[in-house]
Amino acid sequence: MNGDVTVVGGGLAGLVAAARLAEAGADVTLYERRPEVGGRVRTETVDGFTLDRGFQVLFTSYPAVAAELDADALDIRRFAPGATICRPGSRATLSDPLRDPLGAIPSLLNDEVSFSDKLRTLALRYDLSNRDADDFFGGPDDSSIREYLRDWGFADEYVENFVEPFYGGITLDRSLSTSKEVFEYTFRAMGRGAIGVPAEGMSAIPESLADRAREAGVTIETGADVETVRTAGQGRIPFRTGAADAEGATVELADGSTRETDAVVVAATPPEARRLTGVESIPTEAVPNVTGWYALPAGASFETGKRILLNAAEESPNAVIPMSEVAPEYAPDDRALLAATFLGEESLDRPADALRDDVRDALAAWYPERDFAGLETVDVNRVRFAQFAQPPGVHASLPDPDDPEGPVVLAGDYTEWSSIQGALESGRTAAEAAGGYL
Ligand SMILES: Cc1cc2nc3c(=O)[nH]c(=O)nc-3n(C[C@H](O)[C@H](O)[C@H](O)COP(=O)(O)OP(=O)(O)OC[C@H]3O[C@@H](n4cnc5c(N)ncnc54)[C@H](O)[C@@H]3O)c2cc1C
């Protein structure tokens, strides 16, 4: 492949597109407006703690993980299957009898979820495991997760005690109004692999992709904000009259410099991708997320067996994650690190002390024998655009990578579904589409 490609945006999608194009022989320059690559997958070090910028996890069974990443090199610290369902005075383990037979014993005994709903869970797992991986998104009969589970016959208690906090954490929407397609895909993925975080933090994922891209010859320029993308001889993309065979494009940066290029991959965040290309089907409605990070003196275990603590009784916090029990590297030796997630627009504006008090009250109610007075806030991440909103039907209306006119293609989770899998996969598809212009 001969020719020059410019990639706008150094999130997972842009990094995969750049690496793949360079590996195929193209000359590739990637512009990222922030000081570092990673986009929505970033990690910071604060007071010796490793903090992902918003708690998130990698599903090891995602097909794009095998295709794009070296999972061994990421050194994944795995959560145990299932979750611990918490309410005042009680903690109950809900595990996966197929993947974790030992955990299944307390799981079968716990009375938060009925035996028939546990059997229904296995039947659902079996049903989804027989589906083709490419057959999950954009179908004609979409519905909300809540409607889907009702149709399957799950009891309201199962949905309230387990699915609301657990899938609230995955879709960042505890109301379960998100598309059932996200539930089906992720539920199937959890049956096939673990969820976990790299020992050095989630940013190890984009950093490994950036290393791969540089080795293939990609020039990565950070702190480089792209202002406009124009196709040859025409105006800014949204206003041009369009000629599909336009030769080349010009990328203009905020500092006024320009770059002539044969093809452009726009891998910016959805609202910015829409501004740059004018493609109106790019979804721009955001789902926010707030993550609080908390420290305690190292010591007593949370006795979850490396499971997430789900708040079955209250919505705030949605869940508490015993982070350093799962990934000891995230905390200094003398401290324990917890993450807590808060959902909904209103949590964006709540003061850090109010969030910490919710976490302290929840822990004190779940572990009445313990004292959490020493719980300290390490940091709070408020992410306004964590995922694009995914109501039922949304995936059928997402843009195609080659929707922009001229030699410009789209990459980003917003061409697939809002996830690491969606972003990585979109980078591969965009690289193929951009290669068609070289
Ligand atoms: C708190 C949180 C929790 C999440 N939880 C999970 C989870 O558990 N599992 C999961 O699979 N997914 C999760 N996600 C979603 C997942 O992180 C995203 O879907 C994915 O990272 C999107 O990658 P992307 O490359 O499509 O976009 P982005 O990461 O948004 O990358 C776009 C990049 O473009 C850059 N950019 C924008 N405009 C310009 C411009 N004009 N010029 C130059 N650069 C520009 C941005 O700075 C950014 O780096 C979560 C996200 C968040 C924030």
**Which pLDDT tens digit goes with each residue over 206-226?**
999 999 999 999 999 999 999
User: Cα dist. 116→95, 151, 152, 269 in Å?
Assistant: 15, 15, 12, 43
- Of all protein residues, whose CA lies closest to atom 8 belonging to ligand 1? 56
Query: What SS3 state is found at 257?
Result: coil
* Average pLDDT rounded to a whole number, residues 135-163: 93
Indicate the top mutation candidate among 8, 16, 37, 40 to test ligand 1's pocket, ranked by most ligand atoms within 8 A of CB. Answer: 40
Give this prediction's pTM. Answer: 0.95
CA distance 243 to 111: 64
- Min mean pLDDT across 37-46, 185-194, 405-414 is at 185-194
Task: Write out the CATH class of domain 4-42+203-282+399-435.
Answer: alpha beta
In short, whether 435's Cβ falls inside 6 Å of ligand 1 is no
What is the model's pLDDT at position 376? 97
Structure letter (DSSP) for residue 162: I
Q: Per-residue pLDDT tens for 394-421?
A: 999 999 999 998 999 999 999 999 999 9
CA distance 399 to 62: 22
Query: What SS3 state is found at 428?
Result: helix
CA distance 180 to 392: 7
Instruction: Give span(s): CATH 3.50.50.60, the chain.
Output: 4-42+203-282+399-435
In short, whether 269's Cβ falls inside 6 Å of ligand 1 is yes
Instruction: Give span(s): CATH 3.90.660.20, the chain.
Output: 43-201+286-388
**Residues 81, 96 contacting (CB under 8 angstroms):** yes
Indicate the top mutation candidate among 269, 290, 426, 429 to test ligand 1's pocket, ranked by most ligand atoms within 8 A of CB. Answer: 269
Structure letter (DSSP) for residue 190: H
Cβ burial of 212 (10 Å; 0-12, 13-18, 19+) is buried
In short, whether 169's Cβ falls inside 6 Å of ligand 1 is no
User: Quick check: 157 pLDDT over 50?
Assistant: yes
The answer to whether the Cα torsion of 26, 29, 31, 36 is positive or negative is positive
Q: What's the CATH code, domain 43-201+286-388?
A: 3.90.660.20
Residue 189 Cα to chain centre, angstroms: 14
Ligand 1 atom with least separation from CA of 291: 1
Kindly state the percentage of the chain with pLDDT values over 70: 93
What is the model's pLDDT at position 40? 98
Q: Read out DSSP for 31-75?
A: EESSSSS-TT--EEEETTEEEESS---EETT-HHHHHH--HHHHT
- Of all protein residues, whose CA lies closest to atom 52 belonging to ligand 1? 386
Query: What SS3 state is found at 343?
Result: coil
- Of all protein residues, whose CA lies closest to atom 15 belonging to ligand 1? 419
What is the model's pLDDT at position 98? 64
In short, whether 226's Cβ falls inside 6 Å of ligand 1 is yes
In short, whether 156's Cβ falls inside 6 Å of ligand 1 is no
User: Quick check: 242 pLDDT over 60?
Assistant: no
In short, whether 9's Cβ falls inside 6 Å of ligand 1 is yes
Assigned token pair, 149: 């589970």
In short, whether 411's Cβ falls inside 6 Å of ligand 1 is no
CA distance 391 to 370: 41
Rounded to a whole number of angstroms, the distance between the first and last alpha carbons of the chain is: 7
* Average pLDDT rounded to a whole number, residues 381-395: 98
- Of all protein residues, whose CA lies closest to atom 41 belonging to ligand 1? 226
CA distance 27 to 6: 9
- Min mean pLDDT across 113-117, 195-199, 215-219, 326-330 is at 113-117
